[in-house]
Amino acid sequence: MAQRRYVSIKEVAATAGVSFQTASKVLNGGDVRVSAETAARIVAAAERLGYQPNTIARSLVQRSTATLGLIASDATDVAITLTSVAAEQAARRHGHAVLVGHLAPGGGDAASIVRTLIERRVDGVIAAAPDLEENEEVGELLRAHGPAVSLQSIPGGGLPLVGSNHRDTGRIATEHLIGLGHEAIGTVAGLFRRRVTRSRLHGYEDALRQAGIEPDEGLVAEADWTPGGAAAATKALLERRPQITALFVHSDMMAMGVLSALYEAGRRVPAGVAVVSCDDIPFAQFLAPPLSTVRVPLAETGERAVDLLLRMIAGEPVPDKPLLLPVELIVRESCGGLETQRANRRDSDPNRG
């Protein structure tokens, strides 16, 4: 149970009979001007003593920790978790470790998390928590201390952003429902104060207007990104506008709540209400019915964010335009489009009549 003592490079050097600086060159440095035998002796000694380099000391002199900071929201939204885990793995592939901080439910500890990261001298920070969108202090800290990339807009701007095209997402989902013949299309949206929500809502309205349908505010319900919140919003929406035949939901997690509320209300999906969502989290296909959704490249978002951040750290210039990854509609059963697709295919099948 006692703390194991670490063996330092000096001990390795002593048993190999060289100065510790020489041992350093062989074991960690790149500038190896050492004979092959000496090097072998040093490596053997290190091996035998179980030497593990102390990167703390290295960081001190090199003024770089090879560590990234990651601010994530709490684990309630699988989509965000997926993105941040992908970011962590990508960072590690590039030789960087990741120090994470998960926001407490209120998000009030964000600034304190950032300060912790800064004090530990991370080389850069990835802000992957939607709650940060409302946090002035975090924006300032991030801008003041070293490079950072955000996955949502940050107050005050000035930080490169990686994300997807939310307006497209809203438009694509809605267009699909319109294409299936729906007209009374409701939407269970995220928090109105978030940009994601507003963009997706714009896309939704774009598609509606394009089809000559005037958007009706009564068809729009706000929810808090949780299944529970979405279930409640759906219930209210159904009471307010019973004529709804289709629903565009702003996240797969909320779609679970929507499906659940629909189930309780006795409305069949897709026969009674067609549902299209966004994200395509891994188990979207295992919901009942399998969820049609606009796939957001979650993992890729995390990876690209790391790429960008690493480039900034290396001092390379980065584009100041937000990097928006393309989205793609995945048709499954919840929208009722699959049967239509199959029918269409059957109609045009050359092997048939």
Q: Which residues are near a copy of itself by CB under 8 A?
A: 1-4, 6, 50, 52-57, 59-60, 65, 67, 74-76, 78, 81-82, 85, 88-89, 92, 97-102, 104, 109, 113, 115-121, 144-147, 227-228, 231, 253, 256-257, 259-260, 263, 282-283, 285-290, 312-313, 315, 317-318
Distance CA 127, CA 132 (A): 8
What are the backbone dihedrals phi and psi of residue 160, each rounded to the nearest 5 degrees, phi first?
-60, 145
Cβ partners under 8 Å of residue 57, min gap 6: none
From the list 35, 243, 348, 351, which residue makes contact with DNA (rule: CB under 7 A)? 35
From the list 28, 112, 210, 344, which residue makes contact with DNA (rule: CB under 7 A)? 28
55 to 94: interface string for DNA, x by CB under 7 A: --xx-xxxx-------------------------------
Residue range at the interface with DNA (CB under 7 A); choices 36-44, 84-92, 157-165, 268-276: 36-44
Please, what is the minimum distance in Å from the beta carbon of residue 77 to a copy of itself?
10
Please, what is the minimum distance in Å from the beta carbon of residue 14 to DNA?
11
48 contributes a contact to DNA by CB under 7 A? no
27 contributes a contact to DNA by CB under 7 A? yes
Contacted entry of DNA, a copy of itself, none for residue 8, CB cut-off 5 to 8 Å set by kind? DNA
Contacted entry of DNA, a copy of itself, none for residue 187, CB cut-off 5 to 8 Å set by kind? none
205 to 244: interface string for DNA, x by CB under 7 A: ----------------------------------------
Collapsing DSSP states into helix, strand and coil, what is residue 51?
A: coil
Phi-psi region of 159 (alpha: psi -120 to 50; beta: other; left: phi over 0): beta
295: β partners: 279, 328
Identify which of residues 65 and 174 has a Cβ nearer to DNA in the complex.
65
Identify which of residues 38 and 116 has a Cβ nearer to a copy of itself in the complex.
116
**DSSP assignments along 205-246, one per residue:** HHHHHHTT----GGGEEE--SSHHHHHHHHHHHHHH-TT--E
Distance CA 25, CA 314 (A): 23
Contacted entry of DNA, a copy of itself, none for residue 34, CB cut-off 5 to 8 Å set by kind? DNA
Distance CA 57, CA 6 (A): 13
Distance CA 353, CA 293 (A): 33
From the list 29, 50, 179, 218, which residue makes contact with DNA (rule: CB under 7 A)? 29
Which of 58, 56, 40, 60 shows the shortest CA–CA distance to 48? 40
Phi-psi region of 326 (alpha: psi -120 to 50; beta: other; left: phi over 0): beta
Total site size for DNA, rule CB under 7 A: 31
CB 162 within 8 A of CB 294: no
Identify which of residues 41 and 332 has a Cβ nearer to a copy of itself in the complex.
332
Residue 115, burial from CB neighbour count under 10 angstroms (0-12, 13-18, 19+): middle
116 contributes a contact to DNA by CB under 7 A? no
CA dihedral 219, 222, 225, 230 (to 10 degrees): -60
Contacted entry of DNA, a copy of itself, none for residue 4, CB cut-off 5 to 8 Å set by kind? a copy of itself
- The binding site for DNA (CB under 7 A) comprises 6, 8-10, 17-22, 24, 27-31, 33-35, 37-39, 51, 53-54, 57-58, 60-63
